[in-house]
Amino acid sequence: MPELAKAYEPQQVEDRLYQKWQDGGYFKADPKSTKPAYSIVMPPPNVTGKLTLGHVLNNTIQDILCRKARMEGKEVLWLPGTDHAGLATQTAVEKHLRQTEKKTRHEIGREAFVKRIWDWKHEFGGIITQQLRKIGCSCDWSRERFTMDPDYERAVQEVFVKLHREGLIYRGTRMVNWCPGSLTAISDEEVIPTKQKGSLYYVKYELVSVVAAAVPSGDEFPSGNPQAPPLGTAAATTYLEVATTRPETIMADVALAVKPGGKWAHLVGRKVWRPLHREQIPIIADEAVEEGFGTGVLKVTPAHDKTDYEIGKRHKLPVIDILTPNAKINDPGEHDASELHGLDRFEARKKSAELLKDRGLLVKEEPYENTVGFSERANVPIEPRLSSQWFLKYPNIKEALALLQKGHVKFHPQHWTKVYQHWLENIQDWCISRQVWWGHRIPVWYRVDHTPLIDSSSSPTEIVEVEKFRKDFAKGNLWAPDEILCQIESPGEGWVQDPDSLDTWFSSWLWAYETMQTEDGTRQKFYPTSALVTGPDIIFLWVARMLIAGLHFKPNGAETLETNLAFKDVYFTGLIRDKQGRKLSKSLGNSPDPLELIAKYGADGLRFGLVRIAPQGADIRFDEKQIEEGRNFCNKLWNICRFRAMQGPIDPKADPFQHSRSIFADELLDRLHFLLEGERNAIEALNQYNFSEAASQLYDFVWNEFAARYVEAAKIDFAQTDSPTRAGTLATFDYVMSHVLRLLHPFAPFVTEELWCELGFGAETVQLQNWPVKSPRSKDWSPRAQEIYMTADVGRTLRGEIKLPSNQKIPFFLVTSALVSKKRPLADDQKAVLTAFLNASEIQVLDSPPANPGPKAFTQLGDLYLPATGLVDPGVEKDRLVKELAKVEKDLEQTRRKLGDANMLAKAPPAKLEEWRALEISLGEKEKSLRESLAKLE
């Protein structure tokens, strides 16, 4: 057997083993297999992205599930792939183009630009999948998919056509979330509400007097109102005050609204002067107005606000659009606010406030915090904008709700169910068109000679113009049936395709089954998938939509619900944050590079460290220390095995129950039994997606039971020349190691595989060995090993308290209790282990206390003494006794209080009372003895 290195060196192992696994085809899924199927589709990372810690956690968990399933004898498909990530990728390439060639995508044109993105994809698209290999992911790379693979693209378009035929996809004109940064509409789910500090501007809108109303607009600014009624009466009002956060949109105001029947109701029907781009606009009454807020008067700007648009529709108001697609003021012509024209919306805000102030129309400006929707992509405030887009009316909502309610699909942790439910109950149609070049083209064709009257780049004003001509405009039917065709192939000459692309999520919602569409029956075998592992941030964007797709498209052709679930279990990982609790982000520079961490600590260390500390259902505060612990653990495991290897060859089929064993071996086997079968055991924890619990239990078993205790005890056995239990000790080692390596393999695949193979456990790989779920207890087990370990703990504490250097050997006396000395005497080997654990020069076992006893401690084996002379400083000893006495007295008092409480005696369960009584007795004895020892010191 080759000697193992002194420390585990991941760099020597990882790439070699991954290559071996690939060559061995262990990750390949066989649809023809008779084994039960287990499948997971990987949430596809952005094709040009790089590995983040989030990916590591996410994929490690998937790998754990898959590796465990393989060991359980299932046929496993873990299907990897990447996402074209429309806008994100387009933006990245655009930036690159700007930096390298100082060109915009418009300058090089759509076709050339899309080609650039493909080039980019071919160059960088493999990075992240290579990085996933680095962390050991056991995916079936032969089935890797990309959301823009030709087959996949076709499937996406077919789905569009199908849904269009069903009337679920339609072209509609709505207020959408317009991203002025990336010049496209985005869906509600991509808007991040963000608290913003801004100002609330109080602006005067002067009432047009009945007489003045007759005067044509364009007057000089009236100073005050010549026809104003006397002050002090209700009719004395000469202006209305309006609070707004967006004075730059005043030019687009078309009315003021007040609450019907409210304090300003008497003014309804009158007119005010719009303070910028001065014109008369009416005062209307609308329920949307709340008197409690601001001044109780609302300026109505239908082109630039969702609520205002609704109000505008109700009152048949015109729409005046004064913003360009990139959110600059667009109000050309000669008028009193023409200097705003061309300004960016935020500059215009300041400037218009100044203009108002100059004209005495700004009453005041207050600091104000409100929530503004930001574009997730460009990180700029979105602009509500009237535009014509494609929408999907979600099908199968009720069924999708029932899936979770009836338990066909389970979320882990469960509380995400509510979030899912709430979204489905308040669902809005999905805006699926994007003004983006990189993505799936919308399969809709228009007759060239009947160019659509409007499209997504039309301004709201144009759209409203069209409305006058088209009665069915609201339904989005802008073309006669023979002017528009929804189909994949071009209808030929004279037709032009819709310029827009589909939302990336419109392709990924098919991911769970479309990726499995192959000739060999993969989908039949592996769909529905077993589990999905993802972050809660895409519960709507992806998870819910995949469930809906499964329900609607019934990919396996069968009607039963069970065959159409995209997945049965969804595990939501926590979000990884930094030590201060901030999200990891590029801009903060607080995201550690997983590859650097792998270089420092090994892939297994990273995996194990991350999984062990990831709390269930909560965010993770990342600290590199935890990864270090992961590495240290792997090294610990390595060295247990190394130690064993030094004792001779291992027996892969070792059965410790065939040999006579030490009590220490039985103790370890007992612990293993409980690890696998006890209450809340590690296996169960793992089955319930409680990864950190399972990892922690394994960590504790390996480190504290195996290494700290068993290995130390076994050294005594190995040191003896004619030990009758030596063979049993070796067999126990081999047996437990075999279990531990298999149990840890899903968490730490590399180190376990390397050890399995290097130690000669027989099979060529650990990953197809059976998953251990059972291990018997020894019939001979006795509590003696525990007693010795605990006695050692007590003795070490005693040593520590008299402040001896750790390495100084000292004698102990053990006055064994009647039970120990008569019924189960302390055997020589047991005494030897205790001696070693205590680093004692010797242990004298006595029947009665030594003549001149020193410091004393109570143990399960009897009273443990140190020699009185030489070693002990009386002052130190006295402090120790006083301190311990105080603790005992406190415990005793607490116990006696319980036992003295009549209520408690009457109502507490008898078993508990017994426990407390026993405790009282033993504490009482301790107290007495401590007092005696103290008295002797006086």
Partner RNA sequence: GCGGAGUUAGCUUAGCGGUAGAGCAGGUCCUUUACACGGACAAGGUCGGGGGUUCGAUCCCCUCACUCCGCACCA
224-283: contacts with RNA (CB under 7 A)? 243-246
Q: How far is the CB of 831 from RNA (least distance, A)?
A: 16
Nearer to RNA, 410 or 636 (CB): 636
Compute CA 23 distance to the chain's CA centroid, rounded to the nearest angstrom: 33
> Token pair of 86, please?
């429309």
What whole-number distance in Å separates Cα of residue 377 and Cα of residue 182?
Answer: 8
Q: Closest Cα partner for 389 from 317, 334, 442, 465?
A: 442
Nearer to RNA, 374 or 735 (CB): 374
- Footprint of RNA on residues 803-842 (CB under 7 A)? 803, 805-807, 839
- Contact flag: residue 686 with RNA (CB under 7 A): no
Q: Closest Cα partner for 463 from 309, 670, 671?
A: 309
**Near RNA by CB under 7 A: residue from 365, 462, 793, 889:** 793
Nearer to RNA, 24 or 193 (CB): 193
**Near RNA by CB under 7 A: residue from 581, 589, 874, 910:** 581
Task: Give every CB contact of residue 70 below 8 A, 6+ residues apart in sequence.
Answer: 26, 38, 76, 138, 767, 768
Q: How many CB atoms lie within 10 A of CB 205?
A: 22
Q: Are 885 and 927 in contact (CB under 8 A)?
A: yes
DSSP conformation letters of 263-284: TTGGGTT-EEE-SSS--EEEEE
**Near RNA by CB under 7 A: residue from 211, 236, 588, 719:** 719
- Contact flag: residue 370 with RNA (CB under 7 A): yes
Select the span of 432-440, 848-856, 867-875, 893-901 touching RNA (CB under 7 A).
Answer: 893-901
- Footprint of RNA on residues 728-787 (CB under 7 A)? none
Q: How far is the CB of 415 from RNA (least distance, A)?
A: 4
DSSP conformation letters of 707-736: IIIIIHHHHHHHHSTT-TTHHHHHHHHHHH
The residue type found at 512 is: A
Q: How far is the CB of 793 from RNA (least distance, A)?
A: 5
Q: Are 53 and 576 in contact (CB under 8 A)?
A: yes
- Running DSSP on this structure, what letter comes out for residue 2? P
Order across the sheet with 169-179: list the strands. Answer: 184-186, 169-179, 383-392, 430-431
- Footprint of RNA on residues 586-625 (CB under 7 A)? 613, 615-621, 623, 625
What whole-number distance in Å separates Cα of residue 384 and Cα of residue 145?
Answer: 36
Per-residue x/- mask for RNA, residues 68 to 97, rule CB under 7 A? ------------------------------
Q: Closest Cα partner for 267 from 283, 253, 280?
A: 283
- Contact flag: residue 537 with RNA (CB under 7 A): yes
Nearer to RNA, 869 or 903 (CB): 903
Nearer to RNA, 146 or 368 (CB): 368
Per-residue x/- mask for RNA, residues 281 to 320, rule CB under 7 A? -------xxxxxxxxxxxx-----xxx-------------
Q: What is residue 177's three-state secondary structure?
A: strand
- Contact flag: residue 909 with RNA (CB under 7 A): yes
What whole-number distance in Å separates Cα of residue 183 and Cα of residue 325?
Answer: 6
- How many alpha carbons fall within 13 Å on the CB side of residue 32? 2
- Footprint of RNA on residues 7-66 (CB under 7 A)? 7-9
Per-residue x/- mask for RNA, residues 185 to 204, rule CB under 7 A? ---xx--xx-x---------
- Footprint of RNA on residues 383-442 (CB under 7 A)? 415, 418-419, 422-423, 426, 428
Nearer to RNA, 154 or 796 (CB): 796
> Token pair of 702, please?
């390996």
Nearer to RNA, 148 or 792 (CB): 792
Q: How far is the CB of 721 from RNA (least distance, A)?
A: 10
Q: How far is the CB of 245 from RNA (least distance, A)?
A: 4
Q: How far is the CB of 924 from RNA (least distance, A)?
A: 13
- Running DSSP on this structure, what letter comes out for residue 655? -
Nearer to RNA, 292 or 481 (CB): 292
Nearer to RNA, 51 or 610 (CB): 610
What whole-number distance in Å separates Cα of residue 135 and Cα of residue 56?
Answer: 7
Number of residues that bind RNA (CB under 7 A): 104
Q: How far is the CB of 523 from RNA (least distance, A)?
A: 31
Select the span of 339-347, 396-404, 448-456, 638-646 touching RNA (CB under 7 A).
Answer: 638-646
**Near RNA by CB under 7 A: residue from 357, 359, 898, 931:** 898
- Footprint of RNA on residues 483-502 (CB under 7 A)? none
Q: What is residue 335's three-state secondary structure?
A: coil
What whole-number distance in Å separates Cα of residue 182 and Cα of residue 176?
Answer: 14
- Contact flag: residue 123 with RNA (CB under 7 A): no
Q: Are 913 and 899 in contact (CB under 8 A)?
A: yes
Give the dihedral sign, CA 221/223/227/229: positive
